[in-house]
Each structure stands twice: as structure tokens, then as C-alpha cells.
A and B are shown apart, each in its own frame.
Chain A
Amino acid sequence: MKEFLIDILHNEALVYTLMAFVPLAWVVPFALFAVWWERKISAHMQDRLGPMRTGGYHGWAQTVADILKLIQKEDIIPSAADRKLFILAPYLVFAGSYAAYAAIPFSAAYVGSGINIGLFYIISISSIVVVGLLMAGWASNNKWSMFGALRSAAQIVSYEIPVALAIIAVVMVAGTFDLQEINRQQTGWFWNWFLFQKFPFLFVGSIIYFVASLAEVNRTPFDIPEAESELVAGYHTEYGGMRFALLFLSEYANMFAVSAIATTLFLGGWNSPFGDFLSGPVWGLFWFLGKGMMFIFVQMWLRWTLPRLRVDQLMYVGWKVLIPFAFVVVVGVGFWVMAVR
């Protein structure tokens, strides 16, 4: 796609800038859809209906209406808040979430940047989110926001370790960090997916990755940074209007990013589960988005079912449960790969 655009526009800088916006064409409509979807899922699980009127059929335009409302709101910055950091924080959070999309292959024909250290890049760049959250909590000049930010930083940093260990296990099996290459290795029927390889190690690894990624995106049962019932809204208490919309957008962007990584690593990415049947560049996009949405559904399902953990119990789960299991997975996969070679 890059070469195609360069042929037309003859200006590399312009082409690179334009290509940075391409995943946005998915992320923004996805966020609009996902907010509506979450409200409908939560409503039906709670024996009620959810949005029904906005836009006609089952309130599909509810999120659009919400965004319009948020755009026209007054921009309030608390007078004692640290202005520069307060304004900068949502952009950092969004940048950290969105930058991961550069290396995620949406289909066989499209990947933003096919670098051969794709996974490594993704893990590193998404850590900028922590800095943004801490900034948001600190700059709000609100003790409760600061609590949320501190908890969030501790949580995200602690759970990056099981994430990284699970990813290392996959990398050992695939032999490369390049996500497009990992996808190509899972072509064929669904038993070629890494979920079922080196059984049961990668299976357990996928579960560890999924649970730890819930903590990365601050979803229940790990949503103490924004625990409504204790901290009002945690680190984004003082944010309103478009700034809040940006934080919200980045939360959903992050959710999809980790789901996309999970599908790429474990569920075969853009590969069709039936081998050659229903495969191709466009079908690949469909399979990829479908599998990603399935993970999103499970995340939402968990949010409305489970209570949340207390912060020390969360640390316990991360350090004393997930990491030992992840170590076992890595060691097991390592030995298996060496034995096979």
C-alpha cells in the first residue's frame, strides 16, 4: 500500500503521514460501536434494555450523540491543577495506545509497519500509557485521582511481566518478533494456531496473556484505577468534555490493541480457520476483526460478571500466581523447542 501511495503522490513524507491515519479509520468507528455494544451487552445481562431510541433501531446512534455532547462541553481545568501536564496527559495516553496499531497486521496485505521487531516495539511503546495516566492523576490536584493514578501505575507495570513472558513463549515457538511472519506460520486449519501448539504450554500461556492484558487495560476485575465506587472515577475524575472523550477513546483503542495481539499470537490473526476456504486479503480482514471482537466481547462479559479485586490482592495475583505460571510456560516451551530442533 505504501508503494502504491508513493507512486501517486510522489512525496514520501506525505505518504507516511497519511498512513499513520489509516488505523484511525478502524479505531474511531470501533470505539463508537464498542461503547454502544458495551451498553447493550451490559443491559441484556442485567435484564434490561439499554439504549433504545437514539437513531431508531436499538439506539445505535447513542454514542454519536454522546460524542456530539462531549464536543460542545465547556473545557474546565481546575484552577489548582498543573495546566501543562493536565492538558498533555490524555494525548500521551492516546498516543501510547494508538502507536501499537502501527505494527499490527490487519490482513495479509496490510500492516502499518512490517518491522521485524514488531512485538518488541508494541510492548515497549504501550508503556507510555502509564506515564500518561500518572500525569493525569497527578495534574488533577485531587487526592482521589492521585490514588487512582498510583494504583494504575503499580498495576500496569506489574502485569507487563506476565504479558512479556507469555509473548516470549510464542516468540520461541515462532522464532521471530515479526507479527506478519507469526501470522504466516499459523496458516492452514485452526489446529495450526499457536493456541494448540506445544500443548498445554501455549494454551496456558494464552490464558495468562488474556488475564494480564485485562490488567493492562484497567478492565474489571482489575479496574481499581477507575473503581467507581471508591475513587469516584479515579484518574479521570477531573476531566470533562473532549479530554474525557479522548481518554475514553484511548481505553477502547487499548482494549482492541491487546485483543488484536492476542488474536495474532494465539488465534492465527487474519488466517481463516478452514485453511484455504474463505481466505484472502479481504477475508483476512474479516477474520482478524471478528476474532478481535470476540475477545472484546469476553472482556465486556467479564466486566459485568465479576467484582473487583483489592489492590494488594491484585498484586498478589500478578506476582505470585501469574508470573510463576508464566515462568513454567516459558521453561516448558523452551525445552520443547530445543528438544524438537
Chain B
Amino acid sequence: MTPQQILESLKSRFGEAVLDAKVDAFPDPWIRVAPATLREICLYLRDDGEMLFDVLMCLSGMDYRGGKLGVVYHCDSTVNHHRIVLKTEVTDAEPRVASVESVWKTANWHEREAFDLYGIVFDGHPDLRRILMPDDWSGFPLRKDYQVPEFYNGMKVPY
């Protein structure tokens, strides 16, 4: 299926959850969806006979500056040999996105990493805790406005 066809299919099924798209983007066409409906959309992408996106290649947290965070999903189908990119955007004040861990188990650790480094909270994730940083770290390091703390547990951080 071409990206245009995938977009049509999603629009016809989910209506206003599909916010924006750029199917002729170079190099990767993308579709932006609403954060709360992500789980249903991804379930449809995985299970529908024409889509069959059985592999979530990558899940990246993003910081678009100006208080806007986001998540980017790269999905791949080993059966139908097509790919698609899904994007969502949330604000700094309300960084909640539906978790797709129940759709693709690989999202478990990826979402933990996005939470750890960006502070994006994934609703429905069974075990959302920090993965790369120490468990008692404060702050979200990959955000653009992140300030490195002076001390961590009595140790000086910058050196």
C-alpha cells in the first residue's frame, strides 16, 4: 500500500483522530494522529489484513521546542513490505500519550526510555519507570531546556 492509501484507510476509519499528514515528504512520508487514540490506531495497523504492520521499528521521543513534545513511531510490515511513520504531539503541561505496549511488546522499553529522557507519560504502560538514568534522577535530560543539576546525591555532576 502506498502512504496515500494508508492515510485514506486511517481517515475513513478514525476520522478526526488523524490530524495531519505529508505523504509526499522526502525521505519518509508521515501521518500525525491524536495522542489519545494511538492505541486503537496501532491495533488496527497491526491486525488489519491489508496493513499488517507487525514490527514497530522505532519509537522516539521528541522535543520540538516551545513547550511541545512528541513521539514518532516507525512501523514496518514484514509481510506487505511497506512502512509508515506516525507522529503525535503533546504539550509540556499535559504530556500524556496512550501506550502501545499491548500492541507491540517492544514498545515497553522504548516508552520507558521516552519517559525517562523526555518526561512523556504513557497511559496504560504496565511498568513506567526510568530505564537509562538512575531511578532517583530528577529532570528529563533530552529536553532542549534541560539544565544539568549541580549535585546528585552529594556528588558534583558537571566536571
**Are A and B in direct contact (Cβ within 8 Å)?**
no
